[in-house]
Amino acid sequence: MISIIVAVAQNQAIGKDNDLLWHLSADLKHFKKMTSGNTVIMGKRTFYSLPIRPLPNRRNIVISDIVGEKIEGCEMAYSIDEAMKMCSKDEKCFIIGGGSIYRQFLPLVDKLEITWVYKDFEADTFFPAIDETIWRIEAQSGKMHDEATGLDFAFFTYVRR
């Protein structure tokens, strides 16, 4: 199963200057719990923005538009189709960014794991709006508050209708 995992502001913002807009401890723990032991797929800029790379205890697939490019500790895909084929039906694969990768995978994935952050942010990268005729909420946490940042957020799981 291929899922997108992403944290999104209420104005659909997800990043600025190739970095996250916030650091929520609970969201980072949620990301680690969801992706550990599984496959993560990302674009090259997202890979290089990670504080630890490749992500430990995960199969890391990096999508590059430079055919033949290699990144130590990662498997490479040179197209969205190639990355899709690298995920078997019985394994969990998570698309972890960035913006262009999310847009290209959105029509292809089975599930969305979204952390909604209840604030607008200035950004240069946005997540597409969720079409409620295509996606339905399968599960959601209650609203939580992060003391360190003052931000309110919640975890949502969406599946295709």
pLDDT in tens, 67-123: 999 999 999 999 999 999 999 877 899 999 999 999 999 999 999 999 999 999 999
Q: Is-contact 93 2, C-beta < 8 A?
A: yes
Q: How far apart are CA 70 and CA 96, in angstroms?
A: 19
- DSSP β-ladder status, 125-126 and 13-15: antiparallel
Residue 158, H or E segment: strand 151-160
Least confident range of 8-12, 45-49, 85-89, 138-142: 85-89
Residue type (1 letter), 71: I
Q: Tokens 């990662």 correspond to what residue?
A: 74
The pLDDT of residue 91 is 87
In this predicted structure, the answer to whether residue 150 has a pLDDT above a threshold of 90 is: yes
In this predicted structure, the answer to whether residue 15 has a pLDDT above a threshold of 80 is: yes
The pLDDT of residue 34 is 98
The pLDDT of residue 89 is 77
State in Å, rounded, how far the first CA of the chain is from the last one: 16
Q: Report the sign of the C-alpha dihedral through residues 114, 119, 123, 127, in that order.
A: positive
Q: Is-contact 34 21, C-beta < 8 A?
A: no
The pLDDT of residue 17 is 94
Domains and CATH numbers, the chain: 2-160 (3.40.430.10)
Q: What is the DSSP string of 36-87?
A: TTSEEEEEHHHHHH-SSSSPTTSEEEEE-SSTT---TT-EEESSHHHHHHTS
The pLDDT of residue 88 is 81
pLDDT in tens, 24-80: 999 999 999 999 999 999 999 999 999 999 999 999 999 999 999 999 999 999 999
